[in-house]
Amino acid sequence: MKVCKLVTIAGLLIASTLYAADFRLIANPPARSFSSMVADTVHDQMILFGGWSVGMPGGQVFNDVWALDTENETWRLIEPSGSAPAARIDPAAIFNTTGNEMLIFGGRDDYYNYFNDIWSLSLTPGSEAWTQLNPSGTPPSPRLGAKAVVDPVNNRMIIFGGTTSISGFDETWALDLNTYTWSLLDPAGTKPPARQAHCAIYDPNGHRMIIYAGSNWGAPVMNDVWSLDLTYGSEAWQQLFPGGQQPGPRTQHFGIYDQYNNDMVMGFGYDYPGYIIHYDDVWILELTSLTWQRIIPQTTTVDVRRASSAAYDPNEHRVIIFGGNQYNSVYFGDTYELTLDMVGVSNSPKDYIQDNTYITILRNPSKLPCQITLHVPSPAYVSLKVYDAAGRIINTLTQGPKSAGDHHVNWEGLDARGRKVAAGTYYFFLALNGEVIQKKSVILD
Whole-number pLDDT of residue 56: 62
Return the amino acid letter for 133. L
Whole-number pLDDT of residue 341: 65
List the beta strands (DSSP E) in 15-139.
17-19, 21-26, 36-40, 45-52, 61-69, 74-78, 92-96, 101-108, 114-122, 129-133
55-69, 79-93, 142-156, 174-188: least confident range: 55-69
Whole-number pLDDT of residue 274: 55
Would the pLDDT of 363 be above 90? no
Whole-number pLDDT of residue 407: 92
Fold designation for 356-444: Immunoglobulin-like (2.60.40)
Integer Cα distance of 312 and 335 in angstroms: 13
Whole-number pLDDT of residue 343: 47
Query: What's the per-residue H, E or C state across the chain?
Result: CCCEEEEECCCEEECCEEECEEEEEECCCCCCECCEEEEECCCCEEEEEEEECCCCCCCCEEEEEEEEECCCCEEEEECCECCCCCCCECCEEEEECCCCEEEEEEEECCCCCEEEEEEEEECCCCCCEEEEECCECCCCCCCECCEEEEECCCCEEEEECCECCCCEECCEEEEECCCCEEEEECCECCCCCCEECCEEEEECCCCEEEEEEEECCCCCCEEEEEEEECCCCCCEEEEECCECCCCCCCECCEEEEECCCCEEEEECCEECHHHCEECCCEEEEECCCCEEEEEECCCCCCCCCECCEEEEECCCCEEEEEEEEECCCEEEEEEEEEEECCCCCCCCCCCCECCHHHEEECCCCEECCEEEEEEECCCEEEEEEEEECCCCEEEEEEEEEECCEEEEEEECCECCCCCECCCEEEEEEEEECCEEEEEEEEEEC
- Give the confidence band of 138 by pLDDT, cuts at 50, 70, 90: very high
The fraction of the chain above a pLDDT of 90, given in percent, is: 57
Would the pLDDT of 309 be above 90? yes
Instruction: State whether residue 189 is helix, strand or coil.
Output: coil
Integer Cα distance of 35 and 32 in angstroms: 7
Integer Cα distance of 164 and 141 in angstroms: 10
Return the amino acid letter for 443. I
pTM for this predicted structure: 0.79
How confident is the model over 65-114, as pLDDT tens digits? 999 998 888 899 999 999 999 999 999 999 999 999 999 999 999 889 99
Would the pLDDT of 435 be above 80? no
Would the pLDDT of 445 be above 80? no
Whole-number pLDDT of residue 357: 65
Whole-number pLDDT of residue 106: 98
Would the pLDDT of 196 be above 90? yes
Would the pLDDT of 270 be above 60? yes
Mean pLDDT of the chain: 86
Would the pLDDT of 327 be above 90? no
What average pLDDT score do residues 396-412 get?
90
Q: CATH: 1.20.1050.40, 2.120.10.80, 1.10.150.120, 3.30.360.10. Which one for 4-340?
A: 2.120.10.80
What average pLDDT score do residues 28-52 get?
94
Would the pLDDT of 240 be above 70? yes
Give the residue among 200, 192, 142, 196 at the shortest CA–CA distance from 168.
196
The fraction of the chain above a pLDDT of 70, given in percent, is: 86
Would the pLDDT of 25 be above 80? no
Integer Cα distance of 393 and 389 in angstroms: 10
Would the pLDDT of 412 be above 80? yes
Would the pLDDT of 364 be above 90? no
Domain ranges (residues) in the chain: 4-340, 356-444
- Give the confidence band of 311 by pLDDT, cuts at 50, 70, 90: very high
Would the pLDDT of 128 be above 80? yes
